[in-house]
Amino acid sequence: MSQTPREPNEEGEVVYRRLPADEQDAVEGGQAKSAAAARAQAERKYAPTLKPLAVGFALLLGIVFGFGIVSVRELEKVESGTSILLLQHTEKVRLFLSLHAAASRLDNEARARGAAESRREFMPPVEGRLRDARGELEKLLPRLDRPPFTQHENWRTLRRQLVDLIETTRDPENYSLNGYARFRDIDRQLEAIDADLDREQAEVNQQSEALESQSSKRVRRWWVVALLVAALVIFATVWEVQRRYRHEQQSMDEARRERRFSTQMLEGMVSAVAALDARARIRSANTAFFEIFPQATIGISVYDKFAAPEAARMLEAVISEQVKKATYRGRWLLEAAETSGGVHRTFDVYSSPLEIDGEQGQIVTLVDVSEAVEAEAVLRRTEALAAVGQASAQVAHEIKNPLGSIRLGVSMLRDMTDDEESLSTIDLVERGIDHLNKLVADVTNFSRQQLLSRTEFNLHQLLDSSVDLVSDRVRDKQTEIKRDFSREPLRGEWDEDQLRQVFVNLLANAIDASAAG
């Protein structure tokens, strides 16, 4: 059966077939209901199940947020309840240790003074240390005049004993008579205070544990409540979603029969789409297909050579065999001369089965993947550069370690000599090390795009420093380098490190290429 070729319209052609009589009668009975459901579904701007899900998630978030606030408040209660006690206890412990150390030092210095007097040694150094120890203890005494130390008898007694010890150490004879007893009393008083501090620490720990236990119980109760509410919200949300899903499923089942053929076409649409019958004739195509094949018309056969050779082979390869399911038929590259836009284009070709007039046809889909191919190529190049860059970075790291040792050795040599020639040689070595470090950095970053760091400098000086860096090669080759610079300094803004590398490479290559002598 033949068909007169017709020009394609801008919207493309729609291919359909009528349902058999038995199916047609079944469909007509539910057309009104299906049409109404379809219109209602089209008017909705969001999925029906979205609302209960959103409400359920909002409630869950509210529960989590509320539980978090309750937990934070309970923690704040625990912290506020124990922080004051801990601060007071810590202050007492610090002052206790400071007083103990200061009193021990004062007693030791007083003993040292007595020993020095008995040996008739020079006294001023001993007296100076004793005054310092006495002053240190006197600075700590005012802290005992503030609460909570004034509220405890042991601390008040300790203060009186410390004052007595200070006064006793002012007179050597008085200290020799009463010093031992004074310090012994202080030591006993400190032991009593230490025992009080231990008991106070135990009380603070007990209070903290009690507050934590109470807060933990309250948090657990809130946790159970939150869990029950969350379970209720989840159950209600799932039930509502399932109810709406069943309703939508019923509507979809009613409309599926009348959309089946159109769904086959839509499932095959990727980019450019054409429907071919069993005789390889184009029965329908969209606008994108005619943009690729502007000379194609409805009813024309694929074998009529309406496309460039490679494009024709692409279509012929697709229809060379019938398919029973959607099949990928390969990737094809069309040269610029074979496309309407005059650019290289790459297509992924798919074919899907299609029944037309009781015969087996095909849906041909051409997906333009030109940009994806270019992106894949760029990605492969980037991955290759990244791999090479990683290897280079590892090698550069291995080079940097000995360079650091060399730099340290050169620095030590600089400290060991004052000879100008030696210092000049050391300067040359350090410049070489800096140059190597820069090379290592360049190797590490060679796969990265770098910006020029331009600064103003004299090009003649840069050339001189570059020549110095290859001076060893010059001596090895016994080659003479003549410097013929202009009289006026040549200044400009360049990247000094990269330009030096260029000059060093040029000089090194020239020296290597020249004959010895």
The answer to whether the beta carbons of residues 444 and 393 sit under 8 Å apart is yes
Q: How far apart are CA 305 and CA 303, in angstroms?
A: 5
Strands (E) in 159-280, as ranges, are: 272-276
Backbone φ and ψ for 119, nearest 5 degrees, come out as -95, 0
For residue 17, what pLDDT is reported?
A: 45
Q: How far apart are CA 347 and CA 368, in angstroms?
A: 5
pLDDT, mean of residues 49-53:
68
For residue 60, what pLDDT is reported?
A: 73
- If pLDDT is split at 50, 70 and 90, which confidence band does 11 have? very low
List Cα–Cα distances, 273 to 268, 281, 287, 290, 352, in angstroms. 8, 14, 8, 9, 11
Counting residues of the chain whose pLDDT is more than 90, the rounded percentage is: 0
For 359-380, write each residue's pLDDT tens digit: 778 877 777 777 777 788 788 8
- If pLDDT is split at 50, 70 and 90, which confidence band does 108 have? confident
- If pLDDT is split at 50, 70 and 90, which confidence band does 28 have? very low
- If pLDDT is split at 50, 70 and 90, which confidence band does 259 have? low
Tokens of 10: 């801008």
Mean pLDDT, the chain, integer: 74
Dihedral (C-alpha) 393, 399, 404, 407: value to the nearest 10 degrees? -130
List Cα–Cα distances, 5 to 166, 297, 428, in angstroms. 122, 6, 85
- If pLDDT is split at 50, 70 and 90, which confidence band does 57 have? confident
pLDDT, mean of residues 233-260:
77
Give the contacts of 378 (CB within 8 A, at least 6 positions apart): none
DSSP string, 353-411: EEEETTEEEEEEEEEE-HHHHHHHHHHHHHHHHHHHHHHHHHHHHHHHHHHHHHHHHHH
For 114-127, write each residue's pLDDT tens digit: 777 777 665 567 67
**In terms of Cα–Cα distance, which of 82, 298, 383 is closest to 207?**
82
Q: Which amino acid is at 100?
A: H
More confident residue, 245 or 15: 245
For residue 49, what pLDDT is reported?
A: 63
For 138-196, write each residue's pLDDT tens digit: 888 888 888 877 788 888 888 888 888 888 888 888 888 888 888 888 888 888 888 88
Q: Would you call 308 helix, strand, or coil by DSSP?
A: coil
pLDDT, mean of residues 17-38:
47
Q: How far apart are CA 490 and CA 327, in angstroms?
A: 69
For 378-411, write each residue's pLDDT tens digit: 888 777 777 776 777 677 767 777 777 787 888 8
For 302-351, write each residue's pLDDT tens digit: 777 777 777 777 777 777 777 778 777 777 777 665 666 666 778 777 78
More confident residue, 125 or 425: 425
For residue 465, what pLDDT is reported?
A: 85
* Highest-scoring range by mean pLDDT, 60-64, 197-201, 218-222: 197-201
pLDDT, mean of residues 221-248:
79
For residue 360, what pLDDT is reported?
A: 79
Q: Taken in order 175, 180, 186, 187, is the CA torsion positive or negative?
A: positive
What is the pTM (predicted TM-score) of this model? 0.33
For residue 15, what pLDDT is reported?
A: 42
Q: How far apart are CA 370 and CA 410, in angstroms?
A: 58
Report the 10 Å Cβ neighbour count for 365: 25
pLDDT of 6 strictly over 70: no
Q: Would you call 157 helix, strand, or coil by DSSP?
A: helix
**In terms of Cα–Cα distance, which of 258, 263, 301 is closest to 279?**
301
Report the 10 Å Cβ neighbour count for 476: 10
- If pLDDT is split at 50, 70 and 90, which confidence band does 264 have? low
pLDDT, mean of residues 45-66:
71
pLDDT, mean of residues 446-474:
77
